[in-house]
Structure 1
Amino acid sequence: MSTPETAAPAPTPAQLGYRMPAEWEPHEATWIAWPHHREDWPGKFGPVPWVYVEIVRHLSRFERVNIVVDGRRMRDGVTEKLEAHSVDLKQVTFVKARTDRVWLRDSGPTFIVKDKGQEEGDRVGLVDWRFNAWAKYDDHRHDNRIPRRLARRLGLKRWTPRVECEGASRRVVMEGGAIDVNGRGSLLATEECLLSDVQARNPGVDRLTLERIFADYLAARNVIWLNQGIVGDDTHGHVDDLARFVDSTTVVTVVESKVSDPNYEPLQENLRRLQEARDQDGQALRVVPLPMPAPVLFDNERLPASYANFYIANSLVLVPTFNDPADREALNTLAALFPDREVVGIHAVDLVLGLGTLHCLSQQQPAAPAEGSSS
């Protein structure tokens, strides 16, 4: 009696030659979603759309900006605001889709690229993680659909990672703010966000399984685990408020100078881990400290104000600022690290009330690599 053949598992993106590119690699566009969820900025929503206008004004000088809006009325209102600030609307595309919130870093897809491909259209794809609103909020149905909608609009191949756990197959929950990569095979993440029982994204999934997922879907075979995030971060430890690659061998990490501040010791622990870490080739990292601003408070609650939440665009780096003396130090540090890009501060005191700033609200769409290029 013949035995039935078992189908071979489908190749992973990494096996097909895809990788998650570093943020400083060339962009096709930046995606943002226009703010509308007033409860995220209680009593202070009014200034927030104008912060977005300033973001679009700077980005549109260097790359296309794709803005997600829920319909014509929102689009017309946004157009009016952009025109008032002389934004070149030829650099802006409006995309109709509903969102629950606007943090596309987390609800949007993770784009991946292939440096060699038979056709240019085959060189960009996306990973569609499940989004569950940081395992904290119930309203995430629209946000969870965003990657699928973008894949259809852009005509890109889409992968939906799954994991076997406790006898069942389920989609992997992940957010873009939970990871940062150098494009060469190394990835930053925190144990607090991805391995804790608090706001657990993937209950029962261990460290080694997550590392295998990062290797299979992002070609990130070297995971550098930091400890925990900053006070006030309701994502429970996103790494994009802590430490970021700024080139393939250099990481910036925020440090607190006041020993009495509750962030002091956790950030020192992260600094120690980075100083001891090695990249995918076994080489030590260059670790550059960034300051922390003085606490930004609202209703006696500390907000997640951090200079690490910057966004790297084509020829530009946007940095959140907080009317703080440390703003200048942070801007100067990043300007030295990005000598070929403009480094621009964006006033974020109102924006951070929504518990996120520039990196949280943006998602880069990489350009297709030229044939034969490499990271």
Structure 2
Amino acid sequence: MTESLRFPAEWEPQSAILIAWPHADTDWADRLGEVEETYIALVAAITRFQPVLVCVADDDVQAYARARLSSARIDMDRVRFIEVEYDDTWLRDSGPITLRGNDGFRLLDFRFTGWGGKFEAGRDDRLVEALDDLKTFDNNDRQAIDFALEGGAIETDGAGTLLTTWKCLHERHPTVSREALDDRLAGWLQQDRVLWLDHGYLEGDDTDAHVDTLARFAAPDAIVYQACDDPADSHYAELQAMAAELASLRTRDGRPYRLFPLPWPQPVIDQDRRLAASYANFLIINGAVLMPAYGDPADHEAVAVLAKAFPDREIVPVPCRPLIWQNGSLHCITMQLPEGVVAA
């Protein structure tokens, strides 16, 4: 493969979405029935527009998942199962980060450490290698990188600009300077500038402020972000400071970004623990944006905001309240695969 590589934006054409089916040996065991309903709704939404690759732990999990999806009248011609080991289902962070080249693809296989050693992640750390060994991908090479980086920690506009948060990267690599991180991220991800956010967080988030819960590119000149308009809320000061940071950022040609603030849902409390509900954790697919819905009145306003940010795409709400019990949401459990990278 030639060295002319590019990190595609999420809105570019995709071949499939990669997910992993929850089962009794994952951390979903206590609420498996609830989260399965979200996965069924997610697969139903994806397969309206494109294929989905579903990782399954074994034959029994595959048979069960196939039966559940088939009974939901999903187009099973667009569903492909891959038997592979995994610890949990957060494939945004354990899945491949794909670069497109002139004549193929490079799968970047960063270390996955369970968000800084918070959880066991040995099988998840080997997931990309295992999928590659199973010939899941076409016309590619895999680059193993001994550096902890999760896909949810980075956003690209597809044109060489990376957006990330200092809190997360500094937490993973406390002895590495921002300048050194700039150089490493730019080199590995083929970016020529890195935009850092110093503010923004969500209670209940154990990723140390992944950018995909806070601010997302909608176009090279547009950013959608999670706002908070309630001065009494504990997030108010930080998210207001993040909004000011975003307003100060400039596009490559020196213009302010077009900004789309998302509404603030009411707090979701589970056994005295606040859960991290963010509308910024949406997933862009071919022809649509899948939006996490939480059964909150703000769901409808969030649809309207995303429709303005993505005027050429259908906005499809997916019920995601069960996901935030484990502190993630829709984007966190998925990984897009660019057009051409999935083997026939």
TM-score (normalised: structure 2): 0.94
Cα drift, residue 355 of structure 1: 1.1
Taking the aligned partners of 2:185 and 2:151, their CA distance within structure 1 comes to 12
- Given that 2:224 and 2:309 are in contact with CA atoms closer than 8 Å, whether structure 1 keeps it comes out as no
Report the Cα distance in structure 2 between the residues aligned to 1:368 and 1:248, rounded to whole angstroms. 23
Cα 1:33–1:303 change in 2 (3 A) is: same
Instruction: From the superposition, tell whether residues 268 and 236 of structure 1 become closer, same or farther in structure 2 (CA, over 3 Å).
Output: same
Work out whether residues 37 and 101 of structure 1, in 8 Å CA contact, stay in contact via their aligned partners in 2.
no
1:64 matched to which residue of 2? Answer: 51
Find the partner of 2:115 among 134, 146, 149: 134
> Could you list the runs of 5+ residues in structure 2 that have no partner in the other structure?
none
- CA distance in structure 1 between the partners assigned to 2:210 and 2:222 by the alignment: 19
CA contact (8 A) 1:256 1:263 kept: yes
CA contact (8 A) 1:41 1:353 kept: no
SS at match of 1:244: strand
Of structures 1 and 2, the larger Rg is shown by 1
Measure the CA separation in 1 of the matches of 2:24 and 2:249: 40
Q: Which of residues 195, 203, 206 in structure 1 aligns to 2:177?
A: 206
Shift in Å, 1:357: 1.1
| Runs of 4+ displaced beyond 6 Å | none
Conserved in 2, the CA contact under 8 Å of 1:320 and 1:346? Answer: yes
CA distance in 2 between counterparts of 1:282 and 1:128 reads 33
The answer as to 2:215 corresponding to 1:240 is no
- Deviation string for 1:44-84 (max 9, x for gaps)? 32111121011101101211100000111000000100111
In structure 2, the partner of 1:336 is 308
User: Does the CA-based 8 Å contact 1:19-1:217 persist in structure 2?
Assistant: no
Q: How does 1:214-293 map to 2 (within 5 A)?
A: 214-227=185-198, 228-293=200-265
Q: CA–CA distance in 1 between the matches of 2:30 and 2:54?
A: 24
Deviates more, 1:248-257 or 1:345-354: 345-354
User: Which residue of 2 is the match for residue 27 of structure 1?
Assistant: 14
Q: 1:326 to 1:261 in 2, by over 3 A?
A: same
Q: Closer, same or farther in 2 for the Cα pair 1:211/1:281, shift >3 Å?
A: farther
- Measure how far apart 1:212 and its partner are: 1.1
- Structure 1's 364 and 277: CA in aligned 2 closer, same or farther, altered over 3 A? same
Specify the alignment match of 1:300 in structure 2. Answer: 272
Rounded to whole Å, the distance in 2 between the matches of 1:357 and 1:238 is: 12
Q: Distance in 2 between matches of 1:367 and 1:275?
A: 33
Secondary structure at the counterpart of residue 210 of structure 1: helix
SS at match of 2:167: helix
Match in the other structure for 1:182: 157
Are the aligned partners of 1:190 and 1:229 in contact in 2 as well (CA < 8 Å)? Answer: no
Find the counterpart in structure 2 of residue 79 from structure 1.
Answer: 66
Find the partner of 2:33 among 33, 46, 50: 46
What value does the CA root-mean-square deviation take over the aligned residues? 1.7
Could you give the per-residue CA deviations for residues 206-259 of structure 1, whole angstroms, max 9, x where no partner exists? 211221122112122221111232121111111111000011110011111111
Answer yes or no: is the 8 Å Cα contact 1:182–1:247 preserved in 2.
yes
In 2, the alpha carbon distance for the partners of 1:107 and 1:37 equals 19
Q: In structure 1, what is the equivalent of residue 330 of structure 2?
A: 358
Partner of 1:143: 124
Could you tell me how far apart the structure 1 residues matched to 2:263 and 2:128 are? 34
Q: Verify: 1:348 aligned to 2:320, yes or no.
A: yes
- TM superposition shift of 1:43: 3.9
334-343 vs 263-272, greater mean Cα deviation: 334-343
Structure-2 change in CA distance of 1:77 and 1:39 (3 Å)? closer
Counterpart contact for 1:32–1:66, Cα < 8 Å: yes
CA distance 1:42–1:71, shift in 2 (3 Å): closer
How far apart in 2 are the matches of 1:131 and 1:314?
A: 28
The CA distance in 1 between the partners of 2:293 and 2:38, in whole Å, is 12
The residue that corresponds to 1:90 in the other structure is 77
How far, CA to CA, are the matches of 1:133 and 1:353 in structure 2? 17
CA apart distance, 1:42: 6.7
Distance in 1 (CA, whole Å) between partners of 2:14 and 2:260 is 25
> Structure 1 stretches of 5 or more lacking a match?
1-12, 162-170, 370-375
Cross-structure match for 2:100: 113
- Residues 141-162 of structure 1, C-alpha deviations (whole Å, 9 max, x = no match): 100011112333214211223x
Task: Say whether the 8 Å CA contact 1:321–1:347 is kept in structure 2.
Answer: yes
> What's the offset of the Cα at 1:41?
4.2
Contact residue 179 and residue 239 of structure 1 kept, 8 A: yes
Contact 1:67 1:94 in 2 (8 A): yes
Following the alignment from structure 1 to structure 2, what is the Cα–Cα distance between the partners of residues 72 and 40? 20
Instruction: Output the CA distance in 1 between the equivalents of 2:95 and 2:151.
Output: 8
* C-alpha distance in structure 1 between counterparts of 2:240 and 2:28, whole Å: 31
